[in-house]
Structure 1
Amino acid sequence: MTAALWPLQQAVVQTLRAHAPLMALVSGVFDEVPENTPHPYVTLGSITETVDDAHNQRGLEASVVLHVWSKYRGYKEASTILAALDAALDRQPLAVAGFTDVSIAHEQHTQLRDPDPDIRHINVSYRVWLTRE
């Protein structure tokens, strides 16, 4: 089975970058954050895949982790960005090259305090189910 890692990453990042309400809140959505990028922003974390075949169909179940980074005092800004991520991804259509029957749902999120006391961080994971074309 061919992994969906790269096409899934491309689909998620493109979907987020095309979501105007999210992009109005952040300086960008990044795989690798450019130096001197102002907060807040969203980064792609890990993608984990598990084979999820059915009788005559080849499939995958994946977890996509995203990170929200903010310097706002408290979690209000990061939580607002999380809501925009959900509006863009949770139970929304997602076109992943080479796959059909793609569905995505918010799985969990965690508020974290960074070692830098000025930074607030929320990591969020989305569960994705995909069937190979």
Structure 2
Amino acid sequence: MSTPYAALTPTQAAIYAALTSDLLLMDMVNGVYDGVPEDVPRPYVLLGDAIETPDNAHGAFGRQTVQTLHAWSDYHGYAEVNAIAYRLQQLLDHQPLVIAGHRHVVTRFEFAQTLTDPDQPGLRHAAVRFRIITSKE
């Protein structure tokens, strides 16, 4: 058996590639970012916090990566972030991902939550979380 491996960076790269290659999502937002430039207007999607934990099997290495995505919007009401959150689910939930150096087992949608920023009542936010399970190739 070889040494352990990390799935976090290639998993995030695969998610980014899946999202940015979707024409419908890219028509809905002004971009998908890991770090948002100051001058980008909303709506956009932000790659948020992620957690990687071992998911090893006898004689094989595996990982579970939990990735949170954030949709941000200035639209009055939740319709826009809800539509973006739904598109994220369509693109990732139980859909194959190409993850460099890893075998993608499954991606599962865990939850979506809408929020209003208390300091900016017109700012809408949807947090959408996925669990991605991989094994070492």
Length-normalised TM-score, structure 2: 0.94
SS at match of 2:29: coil
Q: How many residues end up aligned between the 2 structures?
A: 133
Q: Please point out which of 40, 45, 48 is paired with 1:42.
A: 45
Structure 1 residues not aligned, in runs of 5+: none
Q: Which residue of 2 aligns with 1:131?
A: 135
The percent identity for this pair of structures is 41
The answer as to whether partners of 1:64 and 1:126 remain within 8 angstroms in 2 is: yes
SS at match of 2:57: coil
- Inter-partner Cα distance in structure 2 for 1:20 and 1:119: 25
- Inter-partner Cα distance in structure 2 for 1:90 and 1:113: 25
Q: Deviations over 1:19-73 (max 9, x none)?
A: 1111110000000111210110000001101101011211011100000000001
State the Cα RMSD in Å.
Answer: 0.9
Q: Which residue of 2 aligns with 1:116?
A: 120
Q: Which residue of 1 aligns with 2:63?
A: 60
Q: Which amino acid aligns with 1:123?
A: A
Structure 2 residues not aligned, in runs of 5+: none
- Inter-partner Cα distance in structure 2 for 1:99 and 1:56: 16
Q: Please point out which of 93, 98, 110 is paired with 2:96.
A: 93
Moved over 3 A (4+): none
The answer as to whether partners of 2:44 and 2:72 remain within 8 angstroms in 1 is: yes
Q: Which residue of 2 aligns with 1:33?
A: 36
Length-normalised TM-score, structure 1: 0.96
Q: Does 112-121 or 62-71 show the bigger shift? A: 112-121
- Inter-partner Cα distance in structure 2 for 1:102 and 1:30: 25
